[in-house]
Amino acid sequence: MQQSLTLPLASARAPERAAPARVAIDVMDRGLAAVLAAEMALTPGLALVRPDERADIAVTDRADGAPGRRILSIAAAGEGPLGPRVSTVRSRDARLITAAALLIGAGYRLEAEPTLEVPPIVLPSALTARERQVAELLVEGASNKVIARRLDISVHTAKFHVAAVLEKLGARNRSDAVAIALRDGLVAL
């Protein structure tokens, strides 16, 4: 004999300090609908309603929604807001949807984060052959004087090349430049 699972409905719940938000689930994916029903039935502050009962919140993945009540839309990524009474969750995680329903039941409205203009990432230009030699000597711990002797250049020119390496790598100091050069594979040990 197959046992059936009976979930508590809004009309069967014991009264709490504040009346629980009455939730109707109208989701096309039957598996998700069942998981949502189980999750919400076990969540204090939420109560499931029968299809013929009035609900405070409609959880749906349909575009038409339900007029006259607050709607928690389970939208796909890229879908925009559906109206002033609609809160949108871009997830199919039952716990996240349940948490969103709790917030809506408490009087909040979920809004998408404003899109921020992100400046393009400017990658450091590649090091010249000489700057790569300087970076290799920095990894060895060479001072400007040692770099000048090894590369047969003046100390002033060595300082110039070290400064160029630091700038191109976005390093704060010589140690930082060594760490970045090693991390990015610009020099080998």
Which of residues 150 and 40 earns the better pLDDT score?
150
Tens digit of each residue's pLDDT (9 = 90 or more) over 69-116: 677 777 654 444 445 557 777 778 888 888 888 888 888 877 766 666
Which of residues 156 and 15 earns the better pLDDT score?
156
Q: What is residue 12's predicted lDDT score, i.e. its pLDDT?
A: 45
**Mean residue pLDDT across the chain:** 78
Tens digit of each residue's pLDDT (9 = 90 or more) over 131-145: 999 999 999 999 999
Band (pLDDT 50/70/90 cuts) for residue 14 is: very low
For range 141-156, the mean pLDDT? 95
b/e burial code for range 122-139 (CB count within 10 A of at least 16 → b): eeeeebeeebebbbbbbb
- At residue 86, what are phi and psi to the nearest 5 degrees? -110, 130
pTM over 0.85: no
Structural domains for the chain: 17-105 (3.40.50.11620), 129-183 (1.10.10.10)
Q: What is residue 99's predicted lDDT score, i.e. its pLDDT?
A: 87
Q: What is the DSSP letter of 9?
A: B
Q: Which residue has 């704060």 as its token pair?
A: 172
Q: What is residue 7's predicted lDDT score, i.e. its pLDDT?
A: 46
Look at residue 65 and tell me whether its pLDDT is greater than 80: no
Which of residues 133 and 6 earns the better pLDDT score?
133
Band (pLDDT 50/70/90 cuts) for residue 62 is: confident
Which of residues 186 and 159 earns the better pLDDT score?
159
Question: How many Cβ atoms are within 10 Å of 57's Cβ, its own excluded?
Answer: 24
HSE, side-chain direction, 13 A CA sphere, residue 6:
5
Question: How many Cβ atoms are within 10 Å of 102's Cβ, its own excluded?
Answer: 19
Q: How many helices (H) and strands (E) does the chain have?
A: 6, 5
- Taken in order 144, 150, 154, 159, is the CA torsion positive or negative? negative
Q: What is residue 187's predicted lDDT score, i.e. its pLDDT?
A: 84
